[in-house]
Amino acid sequence: MIYPMRLRPVLKSYIWGGDKLGKKYGKGDGGSVAESWEVACNAQGGSVIVGGEYDGMSLQSLLDAHPEMKGSAAAKFEFFPVLVKLIDAASDLSIQVHPDDKYALEREGQYGKTEMWYVVESAPGAGMYCGFKRKVSRGELESALQDGMITDLLNFIEVKRGDCLFIPSGTVHAICGGVIVYEVQQNSTLTYRLYDYGRVGADGKPRELHIAKALDVIDPSKVCRPNEGTRKLGEGVTLLGKCKYFTSTAYDTALCHGTQVDDVSFAAYTCVRGNCVLAAGAADLALSPGDTCFVPAGAGHVVWSGDATLIEAKV
């Protein structure tokens, strides 16, 4: 049966997380939530279907039982290729980098990570580190890490609601405090930390750094710019980012009233502003900020009404 399936996310707590995902977006009991894994089929957590015929089934179990619901593009991957998150950075995340698939498979036995951020909220002056201000050598980078001056070399980008940043593997980056982000990424948790501001984890010990591996995979030429690569596709429709792992599109439901979900890929919709009703197959579903639903491949025409911003993730 095809219908829009509401997903219950996996909630993650980290030392840099805030309470906005709980208080404003209905995640958990209102306490601190750093990440809400909205669409997840991962060894570290999986989202669960709420309501309808498949109520209580994990998304992974559904797709194992009905692989056609992934679509032909997703079926080419060894595992479900996409992970969608909402992230609340109350303080700065670590300065980090993700390896590409070749390095990750050789060294870690898993895939690397390319990701994309869409800014849902941003405090005045808040932003992100993405790449370097200028070309740097490995030796200069090592010295800056030893001296705790790495942020002086990084390109800081002040962001506002609706800004989008595409982060290829090999790009040094960090979300800074005061930003809530919608993230779509490769389904990987592989992260190399370069610098963590001297913080300690819940165990009272400094969090692990991975400097040698990080230096191996950093591409110092990569600098990201807001909305680079975004493209208006039609009234109320904006392509945010596209790569072989995922495609992400923003819809203004007051201007665009629907789209097609064919048998090439599933579509996952996260509401990041306003309210709408989304209809697909045999049912409809009301969506408010923070809600995510999964629409199986082959659903056909998906329509919506209301005034909201929906972010679509598919392969």
3-state SS assignment for residue 64: helix
Most distant CA atoms of the chain, gap in Å: 60
CB 171 within 8 A of CB 219: yes
Q: Which of 6, 138, 193, 225 is catalytic?
A: 193
Which DSSP symbol is given to 207? P
In DSSP terms, which residues pair with 50 in a beta bridge? 6
Neighbours of 64 (CB within 10 A): 13
Strands 82-89 and 292-295: unpaired
Which DSSP symbol is given to 33? B
Neighbours of 12 (CB within 10 A): 15
- Residues 6+ positions from 235 with CB-CB distance below 8 Å: 255, 256
The sheet carrying 82-89 orders its strands as 10-12, 35-39, 82-89, 179-186, 115-122, 164-167
- Residues 6+ positions from 151 with CB-CB distance below 8 Å: 95, 129, 195
- 277's tokens: 């009703």
Pairwise CA distance, residues 48 & 32, whole Å: 21
Pairwise CA distance, residues 244 & 114, whole Å: 10
Residue type, 44: Q
107 is catalytic: no
> Catalytic amino acids?
193
